Amino acid sequence: MDIAQEIENSVICRQQVLRKTTAFGDSNIQKFYEGSSVLVTGGSGFIGKLVIEKLLRACSPKNIYILIRTKKNKNVQQRIQEVFEDPVFGLLHQEKPNFITKVVAIEGDINKERLGISENDWNIIANEVDIIFHMAANIRFDTSLKDALISNVRGTRETLNLGRVCKKLRAFVYVSTAYSHATNDRIGRIVPEQFQKLQLNPEIMIKLAETLSNEQLEGMTTFFTDGWPNTYTYTKAIAEETVRTIKSDMPVCIVRPAIVIPPITEPAPGWIDMKSVYGPSGMFLGVGMGLTNVVFARLENTMSFVPAHLVTNAIIAAGWETGRKIDVHGNSKIYTVSNIRNPITWGELGVIIKRNRQELTTPRALWCAGVLETNSPFLFWILSWLFHFIPAYIVDGICFLIRKERRFVKLYSKMYKLQHVLSYFTRHDWLFDDTNLKKLFENMSTTDQLIFNFDVKTINWTEAVIIWWIGIRKYIIKDGLKGTKKGNLKQNVFLVLNYLLVLLYAYVILNLLWYCFLAIGYVIGPIIKYILL
């Protein structure tokens, strides 16, 4: 058996105690969700799938209503079927094969008023639903301010309005991000688990998005997002302010996950979907495939990574805590899921990767897996041209001559843009306070702490990184977790070839520079001589 398969199987085998304990179904959190009717927005997303899977597998809800829109000529039923074909639901299919009977697709769209829900479905939700998980959002960092405001702010307002009319509502959980208030002025400082009042009223921002065009708002984006790195984190901050200002006496809480990486354990070690390759997993993929040779990051920077299974459990536990402790004063808690009590730096991440290369190699790697890290924007630009763009133009030129698809310049342009977008997070750090989350865990029974564990101190970072890469291999590269030995042999060959090519490349570049200086000398020399004479 391949070493990658052995590692995956060992993690799965360790979950037997957890699965047996879960099967009893008598923990406090399980009882809270038993017979409940749950509405989930964002159910087709990375975290959304995991929350739905855990609720159906570990708890016994009566129904789970999933808000989903038609897309690419597929109706909601076809899209729901497509969602549940994802490998993340493999264990659920095995343990509860009839779970689909509890799932109800609700056609809707967070970009529309009243969420685009029909009057009939609106009334069904109002009469039946007692728990809401609002996770739908536009997560693109480069989206326009108008689109981000409509999806993330107005969408949250409309979901809150729906929750307000739910006659049986026990808990409303809004999933935000730990970076909603990770602004420039808080770099290196603590970001508290508290509402941060903003100067602008959310309703004004919604009105601007509804009345102004993309072009008109584009000119105001820099002014509005001053201090925030992108429209995503900015609109998430406004969405939290929306929750604060209109929740009234609703049983509401906010969960702020940091950077979510694949789960270490359940439901499938390392599971990841294609949507996740536009973040740190995409950078990891590029390094492992030998495509990314330069990383824009500060080695001493603490990365607030959190495995997805801990985030999922925290979201579900926060719903339980909110529903069982109704605050008569209308106070709502914020729970931040960060690794502040078990940090890891970029440098430490690199050491783990280098130490465990034997377990991390894929036979489908295209070149030697190794990187240079820099915190300098200028040096990153220089190194990107030397090790990414110039080789890409050469390869694309060869592809043009042999009439093959030219894709490497386009690929490296996307990678360069991705690293610049992520550089705000890879070059700076914040201390995300998680006091509320820590207290929540301490208030849970021993059984619930096992079934719904979100204690970041239990993270073994070496194991987390190895499982992360195994997940990328299995679900993105799709190499079947086979051929690791072959991959290591290829890496040894690539390493020798890499040294030879770097020497040849350096020789060519130095000669080109020399001839450029000579040419410049021939042009400038006579001019200088003329001036001096």
Whole-number Å distance between alpha carbons of 140 and 146: 13
Looking at residue 326, its pLDDT comes to: 65
Looking at residue 355, its pLDDT comes to: 87
Residue ranges of E strands in 63-115: 63-68, 103-107
Q: Which residues contact 402 (CB under 8 A, 6 or more apart)?
A: none
The per-residue pLDDT string of the chain (533 residues; one tens digit each, 9 = 90 and over) reads 899 999 999 999 999 999 999 999 899 999 999 999 999 999 999 999 999 999 999 999 999 999 999 887 888 888 999 999 999 999 999 999 999 999 999 999 999 999 999 999 999 999 999 999 999 999 988 899 999 999 999 999 999 999 999 999 999 999 999 999 999 999 999 999 999 888 888 999 999 999 999 998 998 899 999 999 999 999 999 999 999 998 888 999 999 999 999 999 999 999 999 888 888 898 889 989 988 989 999 999 999 999 999 999 999 999 999 998 766 556 789 999 999 999 999 889 989 988 888 777 999 998 888 888 999 999 999 999 988 998 899 889 999 888 888 888 998 998 898 898 889 998 999 999 999 999 999 999 999 999 999 999 999 999 999 999 999 999 999 999 999 999 999 988 988 988 898 888 888 878 887 777 777 767 676 666 656 55
Looking at residue 510, its pLDDT comes to: 82
- Strand 302-303 and strand 344-345: the pairing is antiparallel
What residue ranges do the domains of the chain occupy?
Answer: 3-20+32-349+427-477
Looking at residue 521, its pLDDT comes to: 67
Contact (Cβ atoms closer than 8 angstroms) between residue 53 and residue 102: no
The string of DSSP letters for 402-432 reads TT----HHHHHHHHHHHHHHHHHHHS---EE
CATH 3.40.50.300 fits 3-20+32-349+427-477, yes or no: no
Looking at residue 274, its pLDDT comes to: 85
Find tokens 């016994």 and name the residue: 60
Looking at residue 525, its pLDDT comes to: 62
Query: Hey, which residues does 71 pair with through a beta bridge?
Result: 74
329: its two tokens: 């004063």
Looking at residue 11, its pLDDT comes to: 93
Q: According to DSSP H, which parts of 136-230 are helical? A: 145-148, 155-165, 202-211, 214-218, 221-224
Looking at residue 498, its pLDDT comes to: 86
Task: Please work out, in degrees rounded to the nearest 5, the angle formed at the alpha carbon of residue 417 by the alpha carbons of 414 and 423.
Answer: 140
Looking at residue 330, its pLDDT comes to: 60
Whole-number Å distance between alpha carbons of 403 and 397: 10
- Strand 103-107 and strand 37-41: the pairing is unpaired
Looking at residue 374, its pLDDT comes to: 92
Looking at residue 331, its pLDDT comes to: 75
